[in-house]
Amino acid sequence: MPSTIGEYLTICRDFEHEFDRNRRLYGARIQCRRGCSDCCHQLFQITEIEAAWISHGIRLLAPELRARLTEKARTYIEDRRLLVSRGGEPEAWGSLPAPGARLACPALEDGACSIYEYRPLICRKFGIPLYNPDKPGRVFACELNFRNGDAIDDPHLVRIQSAIHGKWRQVQAGYNEAGGYRDPSPITVARAILEDFSHCAEPAAAV
């Protein structure tokens, strides 16, 4: 499926443009920067398409960094299993991890993402006000930038983010219709580091 990664990267750029729009709208209120890594301690899952892009990027890293990430990913897999066994699978949408549910992403190094170009969608959009058309009636936002109850004065947010979500759903539907591989177990960044998911969407062919 050589077009799948191209479509996915278009959606990544859409979310990055939306993030930049919010930075212009809210200014210094959006405090996301190198060293602020609270959101990098969430437990979240990614899709096969996102995993394919990460696996592609891992192959391009310097051997020393790849070896470090591999070791950290192995540790992460076991630590995540223990956390989930105690508290269940968390809800990562729009909120920082609760006390006792924090686990650093294996790609986090010195307060920054070591696979930044290949990071999944949740990492590209977290921090700004987020609208999920599957959860209407509420806008989610990182509590380091917005307190609960803060008014979000943005008449374009719902329209823009609903359109991006719609495009992402279409890509996923196309992937399913084409017989794309679906893994029976939760996929994480750690698994995308340790395993090769590039067969899911042929990322190298789309670059």
pLDDT at residue 166, as a whole number? 97
Question: Tens digit of pLDDT for each residue in 154-205?
Answer: 999 999 999 999 999 999 999 999 999 999 999 999 999 999 999 888 643 4
**Residues whose CB is less than 8 angstroms from the CB of residue 56 and which lie 6 or more positions away in sequence, other chains included:** 5, 118, 198, 203, 204, 207
Question: Tens digit of pLDDT for each residue in 21-35?
Answer: 999 999 999 989 888
Output DSSP code: residue 131: E
Task: Over range 74-95, report the average pLDDT.
Answer: 81
Question: Tens digit of pLDDT for each residue in 121-165?
Answer: 999 999 999 999 998 888 888 888 988 778 888 999 999 999 999
On whether the CB atoms of residues 170 and 176 are closer than 8 A, the answer is no
For residue 140, what is the enclosing H or E element? strand 139-140
Tokens of 128: 């700004």
Cβ atoms < 10 Å from Cβ of 66: 15
Q: Is the pLDDT of residue 99 over 70?
A: no
Instruction: Round the average pLDDT of the chain to a whole number and report it.
Output: 89
Q: Is the pLDDT of residue 207 over 50?
A: no
* 149 or 77, which is more confident: 77
pLDDT at residue 203, as a whole number? 42
Q: Which amino acid belongs to residue 177?
A: E
pLDDT at residue 2, as a whole number? 52
Question: Tens digit of pLDDT for each residue in 32-67?
Answer: 988 888 889 988 899 999 999 999 999 999 999 999
Strand, coil or helix: 126: strand
The model's pTM = 0.90
Q: Count of residues for the chain?
A: 207
pLDDT at residue 168, as a whole number? 97
Cβ atoms < 10 Å from Cβ of 131: 21
Residue 154 vs residues 17, 21, 32, 145, 193: alpha-carbon distances, Å: 15, 11, 19, 15, 37
